[in-house]
Structure 1
């Protein structure tokens, strides 16, 4: 009996030594917890082993890791990815508090003169060319010219989605933004666009995340207008945007309206009903022409 107990204790000790944990905490440059970041454990040749996401307080834990050589890859939209070497991992390790740097500082005021794309394991980086910038009216319209895969852009209402019906989360410098804020962007302000599919729990059910990395001006502002108007009928879509910067503060506004004016509306309706005995009943409806006016307005102010 003692031998059996001793053998079980030895087996438990061996399993404990073979399967260890890796834990730590993730913060941003302001030392604030960074939730819902992707934490992936890879082999030295970048093969996936296991992964998780950080909690509300930025904490993470990878369990039941056997001894070996690994690389810890940590990424989050709007931040520079971090890679940590875990060569010769054997025991449970606490990597401590790790800091992700703001990706908006990565290129500073570098001007990209040619269109290029950089593909990473977790996202694509797209640098708009001068031709694409000059052909775009605003941030949403720019997406049409970048021709991102599986992306659907509606120029009429400014909506952005995926071809499979899933939603797209828009961001500006890593912060969640509305389509009105993106519409207010001037194309020449955009340094690059980060495109990530299947972004994780941080963005809910979003099928992709589009993050605009833009220049920040300390003093100044911009105003823009984008609109369409039919010359033969009362159909129009008009959008007015503006933004004012002062040091670390920014105030932006957005106003839009859609006008639909019908000079004449009428309908002709013919119906035929067939009963069980084979008899039929015919009904026709006619309406006199009349007029109809529909005006939709929307707006937003952000600070």
Structure 2
């Protein structure tokens, strides 16, 4: 009898949950706030679906969050690393595409989300064809106020240097319409850093030259800001309209490294000055329309256009320390005026246990680069991409299958030299999911994608890097293809949940740098290599040590890879990972985080991102949150690269002189109004504008 009652109660609970889990089936704009709160409380923390994992924020996660990014960190999703201080979200060392109600978004837009409006987070670690090669996708399902509005502010300055992050977001609602304005500003002004650099040149005749750089001074500037105005209109289950204008301003993003250079073939010391700068402004416009029809059909169309006007500068010189004579003087100045336009249309047909998706997209880039150091020489490059795809999803009891095929046409052309290339590439995709029981799920995924050559890789204008090295692009590059096979085991137990995965990856014609001597110059260019292969094993658990108090999550990964090029074969073995511990009690939250960046082999170089640690203590009071913390309180900051080329071996480490970097953070949120469904954007046209890159060491 008792078992029957429990089953009836559980059936009623799941019946109440269905409206929140399937937003597309809502028929009204307004939903009672109390009902939503009950759903959040009763919903499981994670629901393993066939094509995604759905995370529901707990009451404590909402109470201890002041914005969307902080909420994401508090969810502690396995394999996901959220670094609030440095505004980054990665999964097993790979980038993650972020979306809000299906619409591709930036981390600044996620930061401007109110935690109370986030009803669930969809984690898609096997994205389908319409995501165009994304490693993983995070989709925030948000319900916005229908009357009144909300205001969010945040300030996060460092205490010992000119570094900080500042954000504000305002939303005003009236019936089916919402008006929004958001702004973000990131300050990095003369933050002291230095470079540890050592290199060995090997000439064709076997002679070698060793150069060691002893740092004397260095700093980094990286100040940028953005402003967005947007409007959305929603008629539930019928029409969605969303338009936005956005402006992104990049003040000179600079790096300066000065040092004393010693050479193995000379007793003279050399004063080195290496300066890089990039600045520009990028306005953009986006428009989205979604129209529903009968029998589970809909059409979604998205347009995106952006412009970029900016400058890239590289100044490098060497002087004899004793005589002050100039030995090398490099001065590269490039002015860009580039455009990008994209449009995409998708058709989706839903049945009870299946779904068909078909789509087409077109992207155009028109680039104009003026080399001021070459007497104003102008280079025009055009790039065009056309992409078609079809994908079918079928659920059969405990098994779900997804299969699709895409085809991409890519072409690029330099007007001045009439050089370029074009190609057709196929993009198959397949996913099979088997649910053993409520605690265990297996998922097999095969996916492919293409990478077109960039403007910097194909531009034939020669750029001098230093006294030995030059950079010249290759206009004959072909679009490369990548293939990835992943097997995952997802587990959910009372105190532990997570993922164990095996990933195999290959890119048989990857676009990588290549080097050759031309007289006394070492020329860097690019080639379609003989391929990269790697195999990764990773474990990402989340452990609830003390319920609602202490949680620990992290990822540990082993990676073995092999890279082959024109005349080399290289191997790399690497351990990487991260761990985050969060202790929450009363209104305090103590967070400790350590991250060891993944070492990636690409071409003849191994590169790694930021390895660091963070410690922060937060206190909440009413609508305020106050945080004090430090970046790198336990470890050294490190990012860099290592070249393994037979002509030039070198290693670079970028260090933060201000570590540990203490900071404070103040957040304030206020909101008013009832709850309704927010705009849901299903497709996103690609219109990423290109930028030139001045050669640098």
Distance between the aligned counterparts of 1:161 and 1:268, measured in 2? 27
Counterpart residue number, 1:156: 85
Q: Which residue is equivalent to 2:120?
A: 192
Q: Secondary structure at 2:223's aligned position in 1?
A: strand
Deviation at 1:198, TM superposition (A): 1.0
Give 1 or 2: higher helix fraction.
1
1:215 to 121, 143, 151: 143
1:170 deviates by 1.5
Q: Counterparts of 1:86-235 in structure 2 under 5 Å?
A: 102=24, 108-109=31-32, 110-111=36-37, 112-113=40-41, 116-172=45-101, 174-235=102-163
Please state whether the residue corresponding to 1:185 is helix, strand or coil: coil
More strand by share: 2
Q: Quick one: distance in 2 between partners of 1:263 and 1:170?
A: 32
**Match of residue 249, structure 1, among 154, 165, 177:** 177
* Contact 1:190–1:215 (Cα < 8 Å) also in 2: yes
- Report the aligned-residue RMSD: 3.9
Q: SS of the residue aligned with 1:140?
A: helix
> Structure 2: where are the runs of 5+ without partners?
1-19, 232-697
CA distance in 2, matches of 1:267, 1:175: 39
Counterpart-to-counterpart distance in 2, 1:290 and 1:206: 35
Tell me the secondary structure at the aligned position of residue 94 of structure 2: coil
Question: Could you tell me whether the CA contact under 8 Å between 1:217 and 1:247 is conserved in 2?
Answer: no
- CA pair 221-262 structure 1, distance change in 2 beyond 3 A: same
Structure 1 203/136 Cα, relative in aligned 2: closer, same or farther at 3 Å?
Answer: same
Normalised to the residue count of structure 1, the TM-score between the two structures is: 0.54
Deviation at 1:79, TM superposition (A): 8.6
Residues 205 and 267 (structure 1), Cα distance of their counterparts in 2 relative to 1, 3 Å cut: closer
> Once the two structures are superposed, what CA deviation does each residue of 1:203-251 show, in whole Å capped at 9, x if it has no partner?
1112333222222322111111122112232221111122222211222
TM-score (norm 2): 0.25
The count of corresponding residues between Structure 1 and Structure 2 is 203
Q: In 2, distance between residues paired with 1:79 and 1:261?
A: 45
Over 3 Å counting, the alpha-carbon distance change for 1:105 and 1:164 in structure 2 is farther
Contact preservation (8 Å) 1:223, 1:242? yes
User: What is aligned with 1:30?
Assistant: none
Distance in 2 of aligned mates of 1:266 and 1:187: 39
- Over 3 Å counting, the alpha-carbon distance change for 1:281 and 1:291 in structure 2 is closer
Contact 1:171 / 1:209 at 8 angstroms: preserved in 2?
A: no
User: What CA deviation, in whole Å up to 9, does each residue of 1:82-115 have, x standing for no partner?
Assistant: xxxxxxxxxxxxxxxxxxx705669954212256
Report if aligned partners of 1:79, 1:104 keep a CA contact under 8 Å in 2: no
2:218 and 2:77 map into 1 onto residues whose CA distance is 44
CA–CA distance in structure 1, aligned partners of residues 214 and 169 of structure 2: 46
Q: Which ranges of structure 1 fall in alignment gaps of 5 or more residues?
A: 1-77, 81-100
Indicate the structure (1 or 2) with the bigger Cα radius of gyration.
Answer: 1
Relative contact order (alpha carbons < 8 A, sep ≥ 6): 1 or 2 greater? 2
**Would you say the 8 A contact 2:127–2:136 is kept in 1?**
yes
Contact 1:256 1:298 in 2 (8 A): yes
Aligned to 1:216, the other structure's residue is in SS state: strand
Residue 128 of structure 1: how far off its partner (Å): 0.7
The residue aligned with 2:355 is none
Inter-partner Cα distance in structure 2 for 1:193 and 1:187: 11
